[in-house]
Amino acid sequence: MLEINPFGENNVMRYLESLEKSILSMVPGLNRYPAETVDAGECYVLRMELPGFDREDLRVRLEEGFLTVSARKCGAEEGCAGAQSYSRSFDMSGVDVDAIEDAHYENGVLTLALPKLPEKQGPAPRDIRIK
């Protein structure tokens, strides 16, 4: 069984991420809000570029193991004609979601520190007697 953890050392995920970036780069406008996740030791740091949005336009929500970043900016006319919206979800496997505190938005960049779950320590290795 292949287990893919987007926050761990995994060559398959790195390959898929590079494939996604290359495909999205071929279609103008699809990847206009790039995101990156960096392993910073005790936590992962998620950075998303969301230029043109104000802090009040953003929503960050944790639900059912996913973190969803949404952005919505209404147009100048009443009723949000010409509204601009965007949403992207991230799997929080390997992240201690209860320890996520705040998101920061400055100069069009949203930043979140995502604390890692402690690594599970399995039982010590031992030999099994053969009868």
DSSP for 75-91? -SSTT-TT-EEEEEEEE
Name all domains of the chain by residue range, CATH numbers in brackets. 34-115 (2.60.40.790)
> Which amino acid is located at 82 in the chain?
G
pLDDT tens, position by position, 90-129: 999 889 999 999 899 999 999 999 999 988 777 888 888 9
What pTM does this model have? Answer: 0.66
Residue 44 is encoded by which pair of tokens?
């992962």
Predicted local distance difference test score (pLDDT) of residue 71: 92
The closest alpha carbon to 107, from 62, 52, 66, 70, belongs to 52
Q: Which residues 6+ apart lie within 8 Å of 74 measured at CB?
A: 80, 83
Report the Cα–Cα distance between both ends of the chain, in Å, rounded.
Answer: 30
